């Protein structure tokens, strides 16, 4: 599996260097600073959803740790 990891990290680096023109000035963050614009706007809901889908599907993780923590049925 490791070669696949490397293959994905390369475009990530390219993207990062390509991103230096993107972004906003500190005083242009009023919209981005809203609670509802946070990537995980509702952490409780995200946690509950992660738990539901962890119990019902074979995949987990992605936005946060794949974890475990239950013997879910």
Residues lying near other proteins in the complex (CB under 8 A): 1, 4-5, 8-9, 12, 15-16, 19-20, 22-32, 34, 36-37, 39, 41-45, 47-48, 51-53, 56-71, 73
73: Cβ contacts below 8 Å, ≥ 6 apart? 55
CB of 56 to other proteins, least distance (A): 6
CB of 68 to other proteins, least distance (A): 5
- Dmax of the chain from CA atoms? 48
Q: Which residue has the tokens 């600073």?
A: 33
- How many whole angstroms separate alpha carbon 33 and alpha carbon 39? 11
CB of 11 to other proteins, least distance (A): 9
């Amino acid at each position: 599996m490791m070669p696949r990891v490397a293959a994905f990290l390369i475009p990530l680096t390219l993207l990062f260097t390509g991103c230096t023109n993107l972004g906003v000035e500190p005083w242009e963050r009023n919209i981005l600073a809203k609670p509802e614009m946070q990537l995980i706007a509702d952490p409780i809901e995200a946690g509950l959803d992660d738990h539901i889908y962890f119990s019902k599907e074979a995949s987990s993780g992605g936005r946060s740790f794949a974890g475990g923590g239950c013997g879910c049925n």
